[in-house]
Structure formats: structure tokens, C-alpha cells
Structure 1
Amino acid sequence: MKDYWERFSKYCTDASQLDVRKVERMLEEKFGSILFPDLDSDSRICPSCSEGTLRFKVSRYGEGYFIGCDRHPKCKYIARTLSQDDDEPEASEETQRTFTPRLLGVMPDSSEKVFLKQGPYGYYVQVGEDKKGLSPKRASLSEVKDIDSVTIEDAIELLQYPKILGKHPDDDHPVLITHSKAGYNVRHRRTLAPVPKNVDPKKMTVERALKLLGGKNVKKFGRPKGKTKKQEPVEWH
């Protein structure tokens, strides 16, 4: 029994010294197909800010798990929680009392309802009802001046983003056009470039996107995948 507790104590000590972020990345690599069943590692764009990447995270006090944006706390988007005990904030925005959500229509491919809503950062359109632990697909209406004129067609147009334009010739990773409160951007992996105001996003091509991504107005986001020191695995007997 003494030998058991000595080994158990050593394992606990080793575990307490592990970097939580490294553990999160390790779990992503091993269980990515389960955590992100419909996305590959280079297409997990945050649908809220269009700049961050969806990541597996441990809640603040280690009492739960969730899939959220890696730009937190700037972006508080949470795709879904993986534990009912999660203490992280919900992703849904508080609708201002002065505005009543308006039903615009339904999505043609799924018959889900599309609503016009108002949150602390402005107006947006949303597919489906609010559900605990899940964040419905949304699109910002920050560039729309006349909210009363927004139609279901306008909502469907905005909700199609992020959209894949094609593959980058250097690595075959997707080149996308995204939409957020700040406007339209083109993205390739960790590189983001704004779409000029005088360019119609509907006419954006992968060739034009590559030129923007190779220009001077690009920026990097997220954490680079640098080489980390490999830690010796803990052997269990």
C-alpha cells in the first residue's frame, strides 16, 4: 500500500505541473474528430468575430469544458459547452428591452426561422432560437443603416459567410472571405486582410483574395504553431 501511495503521489505532482494550455492542444490533436466533427483544423473560424479560431478550453476553475474563440476575452463566443457545470459565460447576447426580436422568414434549405435581433454591440440576424450551451449562427448588421429595411434575402446573404473562395496554391489550405462587425475580410490560415470598401464582396475571387493577402494591409492572429519542448510522458503501472 505504501508503494502505491508513493507512486500515486508522484503522478499527482507531475500532473499539477502540466501546462493546461498544452494539455488542451494535446486533447485537440487526439480527439479533434470528436470535438470538431464537422470542421478541419484550418477551418475553425469563429463565426462571431471572424478573426479567432475555435478551440477546446478548460473552464476557469477546471470544472467544465467548452469550445470557444481563442481571442477571449475580446471575443466571448462559445460554440458549445461540454459540461453542465461549466462556469464560463453564455455566448448569447442580452437583447435590449427597447427592441423586440423580429421574425424575417425561414432559411430555404432547412426551414429554420431567421430573426432580426439587437445586442450590446448592435443589430444582427440569427438562425434559430437561443438554446442553452449552443450559439446559433449569426451575422452582424453593423453596416446596415436602415434596420427596418432588412429582409430575409439580406439575412441569407450575410449568413453565408465565412465562405470558401478556393485553395491557396502554396499549401492547398482554404482561402475564405469572412464577415464581422468590422466588415469583410479575406483569410488564409493565420493571415487576414480587409476587403476594400469599394470592392463588392459578392464578386471576390480567390485570385483577388491572394493579392490582398500578399499586400501591406495584412495582419496575423492567433498563436503560431511553434516548436514546444517535448515533455516525457508519465508512465502508469
Structure 2
Amino acid sequence: VEYDFTADLEDKLDDISSGRVDWKAVLHEFWDAFNNAIDETKDLRVSEVLDRLDELLGPHFFRPGEDGSDPRKCPSCDDGRLNLKLGKFGAFFGCNNYPECKFTRPLEVTNGNGGDEALLASGPKELGPDPDTGDLISLRKGPYGFYVQRGEEALEGKKKIKPKRASIPKSSNPVDVDLEIALGLLSLPRDVGIDEETGDMITAGFGRFGPFIKVGGTYVSLKESDDVLTIGLNRASHLLADVPRKAPPKELGSHPKDKKPVVQKVGRWGPFVQHGKLMATLPKGTDPDSVTLEQALELLDAKAKKNGKGAKKAAKPKKKKATKKKKPAAKKSNPPAPSEPAPEVANE
């Protein structure tokens, strides 16, 4: 940005507003300089502009690594060079060996290691076999970030069996994930120890909102300094001591239609029963410990009917539109016959 140009133009605009300078003269002066600058570049091709921008912006986006290696060296094919390119969604850096090498990198400043994209430029990274199953453990990247996977998708008849997957915590660097860390993530949830207050097992796991510990119906999110793979009983007990305890879900029995469990839980708005995704709140004054499977089924059926998930409502009979009676067409009356003139009487 040329700050002198901006300041000079602001002064001229002030002169125009005060009437000291004619605005047409200022506009004519600006247009002459602008038009001359355009004439110097209008014959340039897009490739020439990209080469020039690549030369100017290269030192900003490609900073030498600590080992003094060339920061523009492609981390995927080793003999390629990363150049500025223009794509459907804007500018990016790509290998000059395209289409043999399809490595790309967004416009961002790195420290010379090519960023996390270099990890999987040539596909999933193999970490090693699972010592228990022999399945290959691999590091992959999906739409929601990096994750590890055990084995591949398999078919049992016509049913697809998805492999076990585990997300990489945001606090972890994917570059540092090895076989040991991957096996630990895939083994979650894991037992931490027995809770002294309830006698239940405290477990550590990783959910949609990040790492957590759980005992009964009580969940606590872990801090950034806590590691879900190594957190011990003392630290877990300390975190649980600061939160109110919730009663664990109570299974009342199996639903007679699909044999899936019907459970009773305590939520933000009080106790309720649940079957699948259908939930029904217990009436006020009901003792949660006394609720039976039959009572829960009645509440769930009533909620299903209220939500329109029960029997289909009978369609209301369509009202027949009353047909308008057509008025009979008026009969055309015959015009009266012309009257005959009276006979003339001769005067005698």
C-alpha cells in the first residue's frame, strides 16, 4: 500500500470540498496515471502474472527450515517444486509435477515442513499392525479432522461392517501420532479406577465434544492439560468432586416390539423414560424409583401419538363441492306479427 498516494488523495479531496480545486481536474489527473498503469499490464498473460506474484510472495510463504533445506521442495514427490497456482476456488500452492504429483497446500505461512497436509499427500499413513488382531492401523484425514483407523471396511453378506475409528484430539499434533498412541485412542473408552463415593468404575473416553471422564450418569470434560490416555484415578476423582452427581441410566426392560431397551434417565428438566430417540417426561410427583416397564410404555405410546408417530390419522373425508344449478336458458319470444292496416272507408 502506498501511504503517500493515499494521503495525497485525501488532501485533494479536502481541497475539492472546500472549493479550492476543481474536481474534474483531480479526476483527470487520476485517470491519466491509472490508464498508463493499465496499459503496461493489459497484454500480460495470467501465467506471467502468477509467476511474478510467486516470485514476490515466495519469501513470505516459504520460510527456510531449521535444517536449511529448500522450503519449496515438494514433500510428496521429493523432486517437485511448489509454485503459486490459480484454481476454481482461488489461489493455492501446488507441485509443478502435476498431474503425476497432486500435492497442494493452502496459502498459509509455514515453518518449512509443508504443514500437516504433507503427512497424507500420497494417501493414508500406515502406522503398523495391531498386535492383537493383525489389522493395519492407519492415520487418515476426514472432513472433521485427523483420525486413526483399524483395518478396512468389510462385508458380511450384504451388510457393511465399518472399521473402528478414533479422532485425534485437537491438542495433539498429527505428526506425533505413532502406533502406540493410535492403539490407545482405539482402545477408548478405558477404565481409570473405582470411584470411592459410588463404587462405580470411572472411565475415560473421547466424544463429539472432546475427551471426558464418566462415572454413572456424570460426565466431566477434560482440560487441555489432561491426557485422556494417561489420566489417573487421583486426577479423575479431583475433577468429579467439583460437579454434581447424576444418577446413572436405569434399564427398565426391553420394548415388546423391537426388543430394544427402555431406560429411565435424569436430565436437565427432571426424570424421563427413553426408547431409542423417543423420550417422555415423568409426570410431576412420580417417584422415579417406582416406575415400571408397563408405565414407561404407556408414557412413550402417549408421546408417540402426540408427536404423530403412532397410528396414521384417518384422512378427513373431502367435502363435496355443491354444484351450482344452471339456470334454464330464457326462451326467445317470437316478435309480434305486424298488424294489418285498417281498411280504408270510401267516402260516399
TM-score by length of structure 1 reads 0.47
More helix by share: 2
Q: Which has the larger radius of gyration?
A: 2
Structure of greater relative contact order (alpha carbons < 8 Å, 6+ residues apart) = 1
